[in-house]
Amino acid sequence: MKNIYFFIKHLLRLPLDFIKKNNIHNTTRISSNTLISKTKIGRGNYIANNTVLINTELGNYCSIAPGVQIGGMQHSYWWLSTSPRLSDQCIFDKKTIIGNDVWIAAGCIIKQGVTIGDGAVIGAMSFVNQDIPENSIYFGSPAKFYKKRLDDTTFERLKKTEYWNYDYKKAKEILTKFDSK
C-alpha cells in the first residue's frame, strides 16, 4: 500500500518537475512543502518537509532533514540595489553539488556553488559557505571541520564498492558484507 502511495505521488509530481526543470529519480522520497527548481536528484534520497533546493545536483542515498535551504540566489549587496528586479548583478547561476550518502541535518543553509563530498555530514543549523571534503563532519556558522566520519582506510575501501550506484537491496547487501569483514 505504501509503495502505491509513493508511485501515485511520483506521477502527480512529474508535470511540475518538467516545468521547474527538475530530474528526480522515482525512488527519492520528498515530503510536503518543498521547493525544488532546476535540480537533479539521484536515487534513494530522503528530503524532509520545508526544504528548498535550487540549481542543485544531489547524489544517491542522501538524507536531507527539515528546513534545509540549498542553493538559491545571492543578492547584489555590493551594488546600488539588492533587488533582482533592479539589479543585473545578482548571482543565481552557480550549481551546488552534493555527493552520495550525505546527511544534511535540520535547518542548514548551503550557499550556491558549494560542493559537498561523498559521505559528509553537516550538523544542524550550520551555514555552509565553502566546499566540504568527502568523509568529513562539519557544523557551525560558518561551518567548521569537526572530524573525519570514518578512518581514511575504511572510507577508501567503502568508496571502492560504489554501493551508491546500486538499487537499495544491492547497496544494502554490499554494506552488510562490508560491515561483516
Cα 36 from Cα 48, distance rounded (Å): 12
Same domain flag for 129 and 166: no
Same domain flag for 95 and 10: yes
Same domain flag for 114 and 165: no
Range of the domain at 181: 151-181
Lowest mean pLDDT among 31-40, 60-69, 77-86, 120-129: 77-86
- Four-residue CA torsion sign, 113, 158, 180, 167: positive
Same domain flag for 103 and 25: yes
pLDDT at position 18 is 52
Q: Which residue has the cell 548571482?
A: 91
Q: Residue 6 pLDDT more than 90? A: no
For 45-60, the pLDDT digits (tens) are 999 999 999 999 999 9
Nearest to 104 by CA among 130, 71, 135, 66: 66
Same domain flag for 122 and 172: no
Render 146-172 in DSSP notation, one character per residue. Answer: EEESS-HHHHHHHHHHTGGGS-HHHHH
CATH number at residue 111: 2.160.10.10
Same domain flag for 77 and 118: yes
Same domain flag for 134 and 91: yes
pLDDT at position 14 is 54
- Per-residue confidence at 106, pLDDT binned at 50, 70, 90? very high
| pLDDT, greater one: 73 or 136 | 136
Cα 170 from Cα 109, distance rounded (Å): 32
Same domain flag for 180 and 100: no
> How many domains would you assign to the chain?
2
Lowest mean pLDDT among 5-14, 72-81, 124-133, 171-180: 5-14
Strand-strand pairing, 63-64 and 103-104:
parallel
- Cβ pair 69, 109 in contact under 8 A: yes
pLDDT at position 157 is 94
Same domain flag for 131 and 173: no
